[in-house]
Amino acid sequence: MLWGGRFKEKLNDTAMEFSSSLSFDINLINEDIQVSTAHAEMLATIGILSKDELSEMVAGLETIKNESSAGKWNPDTLEYEDIHSAIESRLGELIGATAGKLHTGRSRNDQVATGFRLWTKKAITSLSEQLSIFQEALLLLSEKHTETIMPGYTHLQRAQPISFAFHLLAYVEMLERDKKRLQFVLDETDSSPLGCGALAGSTLPLDRNITTEKLGFSKPSSNALDAISDRDFVLDFLNACNIGMMHISRLSEELILWSTTEFNFIKLGDTYTTGSSLMPQKKNPDMAELSRGKTGRVYGNYTAIATMMKGLPLSYNRDMQEDKEPIFDSYKSYSQALAMMTGMINTLSVNENRFIKELEGDFLFATELAEWLVIKGVPFRESHHIVGEVVKAAEENDVKLHQLTIEQLKNINSIFDETALEVFKADGALYRKKTYGSPNPDMVRTEIKKWKTKIN
C-alpha cells in the first residue's frame, strides 16, 4: 500500500476489492514501466539518483516487464489497488530500498495520467492504420465496379442511378474523416502531465522537458491542476470511436440488406458468415450484425465517462478511476469491427448484372427527364410538374417510363420528342452525369486513383 502510514488499520478486504482497478489497468503495464523509466532517468540527471541506483532501477523495471510478458508475474487484485502500486511493490522485492526513491516528486495521479495518454496515442495509431487498410479494401472493390449500376436511395426509396463503386467511395470519405478525428485526439493527447504531481507540481527541481522528450510527447502540460483532472482526451477518443462505429454500423446495415434474397446484390464470404442450428440453408451475416450491435455498447461507454466527469471538482477524484474500462472496451470493439468489415469487403462477391434490366425505364430516371426539359428551356419548377404527370401516366398504365410511347408523352407536353426516350436507358446513364463528385465512371476512376495515392 503506497499510502498507509497515517492509518491504524488496513483497508477492509471488501473495500480493497471494490476499489482495485488492477484487473483492467494492468493493460497499462508497459506504459507505466515506460513512464517510470523516464522519471528515473530524469531523477538521475538532476542528481537525486546515482548512476548505480539508476542502473539498478531500470534493470528492475525491465525484469518486471519481462516477467509480466512471460506470465511469471501476475499481481493479485486483492493485494494491490492498481498496476502502479503493484509494480512499485515488485520493484522493492527485486532491488530493495532503492525502489523507494522512484516515487520522488511523483504522484500516482500524474504517473497514471501519463501512462494513460501514452496508451491512447498508441491506440490512435493502431486504429488509423486499420482505417487505411479498410479504405484500401474498399478501393480495391471499387476499381472492379465503376460501371456496376445500382439504385441510389433516399428515404430507402429509389432515387437516382449510381454505381457500386460510387457508393463504396462514400465510405472511403467517411473513413478519412474518422482518421482526421483521431488525429485531432492525438494532438490533444500529446502533452505530458508527468511532473505535475497530485495537482500542484513539486518543490523539487524536476526537469519536465527531459521526461517529455524521453516519452515522445510534443510538450509538457502547462497547468498542473488541469493536467491531472483533464479527461477531455478520453471523451474525444470515445467520440471518435462512436462516429467510427456509426459509419461501420451503416455499412453493416447495407451489407445485410444487399445480401438478402430480395436484394440479391452481394454474397458475403463463408469465412465471415454463420449458419443456423435449425435451418440448414441459412447463411447469416452475423459479423455485420454484431458490428451494428456493438455500436450501442460503444455509445454507452461515452455516456458513462461523460456522466462520471460532469460533476467533479478539480483536481483528481477517485471517480476518475472509471475512465479506463470504457476506453479499453471501445477500442477493442472498434478495432475488431474494423477487422471484420475489412474481411467482409475483401471476401464478398457482387451480382454485377443485378439491376441492369430492372432499372431500364425505372422511375428513378425522373430527375434526368426533368433536367432534359430544363435543357429544352423549361423552368425547373415547371419541368418538375411535367415529369410528375409522366410518372402518373406510367403508373396509371402500369408500365415503366421507357414503355410510354412518344404520343403519350406529347399528350402530356408537346415539347417531348424521340430524344427524351434516351433518358430512360440504364446503359450510359452513369456517363450522362456531368458534375464533379457524381458517379460518372471516369470521375469515379479519377477519385479511386486519388485516394490510392493519398492513402499510400
**How many folded domains does the chain comprise?**
3
Strand partners, 219: 191
What is the domain-level CATH number for residue 385?
A: 1.10.40.30
95 φ, ψ (degrees, to nearest 5): -125, 0
Complete DSSP assignment for 236-263: HHHHHHHHHHHHHHHHHHHHHHHTSTTT
CA distances 56 to 26, 41, 50, 87, Å, are 23, 11, 10, 15
Helix, strand, or coil here: 71?
A: coil
CA distance 234 to 222: 19
CA distance 38 to 194: 10
Helix-, strand-, coil-residue percentages of the chain, each rounded to 5: 65, 5, 30
What are 35's three cell numbers?
A: 513512464
In one-letter notation, the amino acid at residue 207 is D
Same domain, 87 and 114: no
Q: Residue 33: which of 86, 101, 87 has the closest Cα?
A: 87
Same domain, 82 and 183: no
- Annotated catalytic residue: which of 23, 69, 218, 276? 276
DSSP 12: P
CA distance 393 to 326: 57
Same domain, 148 and 290: yes
Give per-10-residue mean pLDDT for the chain (456 aa): 63 80 92 98 98 98 97 90 93 96 95 97 98 98 98 97 98 98 98 97 97 98 97 98 98 98 97 94 96 98 98 94 96 98 98 96 96 96 97 96 95 95 94 96 98 95
Q: Which residues are within 8 A (CB) of 248 and not within 5 positions of it... i.e. 6 or more apart? A: 291, 292, 295, 334, 337, 338, 341
In one-letter notation, the amino acid at residue 220 is P
In one-letter notation, the amino acid at residue 28 is L
CA distance 12 to 10: 6
pLDDT at 12: 79
In which domain, by residue range, is 56 found?
4-104
321 φ, ψ (degrees, to nearest 5): -60, -25
pLDDT at 7: 67
CA distance 363 to 135: 33
Same domain, 184 and 49: no
- Annotated catalytic residue: which of 155, 222, 277, 349? 155
CA distance 347 to 79: 48
Same domain, 221 and 252: yes
Same domain, 220 and 127: yes
Helix, strand, or coil here: 192?
A: strand
Same domain, 58 and 95: yes
Helix, strand, or coil here: 219?
A: strand
Q: Residue 134: which of 174, 103, 98, 166 has the closest Cα?
A: 174
Same domain, 10 and 93: yes
Last-in-domain residue among 354, 377, 409? 354
Last-in-domain residue among 354, 384, 419? 354
Last-in-domain residue among 326, 354, 382? 354
Same domain, 334 and 409: no
What is the domain-level CATH number for residue 22?
A: 1.10.275.10
What are 400's three cell numbers?
A: 415503366
Helix, strand, or coil here: 400?
A: coil
Same domain, 282 and 411: no
Complete DSSP assignment for 317-381: -GGGGGGHHHHHHHHHHHHHHHHHHHHHHHH-EE-TTTTHHHHTT-GGGHHHHHHHHHHTT--HH
Question: Residue 104: how many CB atoms within 10 A of its CB?
Answer: 15
pLDDT at 370: 97
Same domain, 332 and 367: no
pLDDT at 20: 85
Same domain, 116 and 72: no
| Residue 43 · residue 49 · CB < 8 Å | yes
155 is catalytic: yes
Q: What angle do CA 402, 404, 409 make, to 5 degrees?
A: 115
What is the domain-level CATH number for residue 281?
A: 1.20.200.10
